[in-house]
Every structure is written in structure tokens, then in C-alpha cells.
Amino acid sequence: MATSSNNSPALLDIAEVSKSFGSVEVLRSVSLQVAKGEVVTVIGPSGSGKTTLLRCVNFLESYDSGSIRIDGKEVGFRDGGARQRRSERDLAAMRAETGMVFQGFNLFPHLTAAGNIMLGLTKVRGKSNAEARSIAEHWLGRVGLVHKADSLPAELSGGQQQRVGIARAVAMEPKILLLDEITSALDPELVGEVLAVVKSLAEDGMTMVMVTHEMAFARDASSRIVFMADGGVSAVGPPKAVLAAETTNERLRTFLARFR
Ligand code: ADP
């Protein structure tokens, strides 16, 4: 069985995943194991395949070869055909195993904060409205927004919307949370409140894979950093080791120079 860096069985096991769009290979035999409770940040230049990798884990994208397993169970799909054979309801249930939060806030504009969280709980998890409301309030409390339960997204700041997005993802009790540049669209003064929520979920043991340009967060809050370049994993390891690897890894040095 694949093991992660700390030798416990991997919760997420991405093994030699490759993917092309037409003639462009965007993932080149990417392997990554993530243990339960780990927070893995993925950094790298634009176009290096970070988003595509997360989308493959969350079934938003098929891949050409390799395998993706969560808890030993194959989760992604290798070809477009497999997608057609699965009902939307099945796909929604599978995606809920891997909650995903995006750069754009992606909240349904006509639903309140609580309504956004309740939707998946009632439609996918089969909860009653009352149960779903109580779970929604719990998670809104967890992200400091219980007083905004009945506000529409347009009435919330970007940071608050993103916190609702995180609450919506974790309310589904995913085994792993995928965060794709969730602070990139935010005004700088709102970034901190969103990262604080991510940090507190990490402290509670939530397993996370997070694509980010927040180097300070990657350095201080992650168990490991993955540096992707040209569709491959160019460096991986504890933050200190990866950040020190720039002495031997020129692509990493060029990338990190932008943040100085
Ligand atoms: P990153 O997240 O690191 O910026 P992406 O995973 O978004 O990188 O993109 C990797 C490469 O794949 C880029 O060259 C991008 O243009 C290409 N790509 C991404 N999505 C598509 C698509 N749906 N069709 C064609 N090319 C795509």
C-alpha cells in the first residue's frame, strides 16, 4: 500500500496520473500521497497543472492514465465515457467525499448563506430541512458567520462569501478538502480571515490539499509543500526542506523570486 511521508497509509493516493488536453500534456505522471490530517499546499507557476490535478481528484476532469484513490477506493475517472455512465447524483455523492472550494465564490446567488449550505445536505445527503438547518448553523458558527445565516451572498463581503463556501464544503463531511486558490480573488485585507478559517480546520485535523500563492501560509501552516512545474512534481517535502531546495532547483528559485 502507498504510504505518505510519515509512513501511515495514504488517505489520498495519486499514482502516476497523466493527462493531456489535445497534444498538450498538462500532468506528467504525477504521484502524491496525503495522509489523514495532513495539510499539503501546492505551489507553482501559472499553467503548471495545479488546478487540473485538483479537478481530477474531484471528478471535474478525467485523466488519461494512473489512478486516484481515497481510502484505498478508486475515485477519479480515466475517460470521458465513465462519466456518462454515472448519474449526476452518484457524481455529486462522490464529489462530496472530496469537498472543493474554488477561487470564485460559487455560491448560489438566490440562496441565503444557510440555504447554500443546506442544499447539498438535503439533496445529496438526504437530510431533513430541520437537520440541514442545524448543521448549517453549526458550520456557520465555526467560520464566525452564524449571524449571517439569512443573508444573501450579495450582502456578504468576498471574505465572508468564501467562509460560507468553506462551511458549505465541510458541512458535507468530506474525507478531504480541496482548496483551489481560494484567496486569489480577495482584496488583500480579506485574505487573513479566510486563511484563519483554513488554519483552524487544519488544527481540528481536516485533511487538505490547497493550491495557493500565499507563501507565508504554505511555509507556516502546511505539513508539506508540493512544487509543481511543467505538469510534474518538481519538489515535495516539509516546508523548510522545499523552500531550501531552491539552491539546487532552478525552476523553484525563479518561482520563489517573485515573492520577494
Ligand atoms: P495552474 O492551475 O497551475 O495554473 P492549470 O491546471 O489551470 O494550471 O492548467 C495547466 C495547463 O492546462 C495550462 O496550459 C492550461 O492552459 C491547460 N488547460 C487547463 N484546462 C484546459 C482545458 N479545459 N482545455 C485545454 N487546456 C486546458
Mean pLDDT of the chain: 90
Pocket probe for ligand 1: among 17, 51, 52, 64, the residue whose CB has the most ligand atoms within 8 Å is 52
Residues of the chain above pLDDT 70, percent:
91
Residue 56 CA to ligand 1 centre (angstroms): 12
Residue 32's closest CA among 56, 59, 54, 13? 13
Which residue's entry shows cell 472530496?
98
Q: Identify the pLDDT of residue 45.
A: 96
Q: How many Cα neighbours within 13 Å face the side chain of 241?
A: 11
What does the pLDDT average to over 11-32? Answer: 95
Which residues, including other chains, have CB under 8 Å from residue 59's CB and lie 6 or more apart? 75, 76, 77, 83, 91, 94, 95
Pocket lining: 46 vs ligand 1, CB cutoff 6 Å: yes
Does the pLDDT at position 255 exceed 50? yes
Separation CA 86–CA 234 (nearest Å): 34
**Residue of minimum CA distance from atom 5 in ligand 1:** 49
Does ligand 1 lie within 6 Å of residue 51's CB atom?
yes
Q: Cell for 39?
A: 495539510
Q: Is the ipTM of this complex over 0.90?
A: yes
Q: Is the C-beta atom of 87 inside 6 A of ligand 1?
A: no
Q: Which atom of ligand 1 is nearest to the CA of 53?
A: 6
- 121-160 pLDDT, tens digit each: 999 889 999 999 999 999 999 999 999 999 999 999 999 9
Q: Kindly tell me if the per-residue pLDDT of 80 is higher than 60.
A: no
pLDDT computed for residue 85 by the predictor:
58
pLDDT digits (tens, 9 = 90+) for 102-129: 988 789 999 999 999 999 999 988 999 9
pTM: 0.91
Q: Give the rounded percent of residues in the chain with a pLDDT score beyond 90.
A: 75
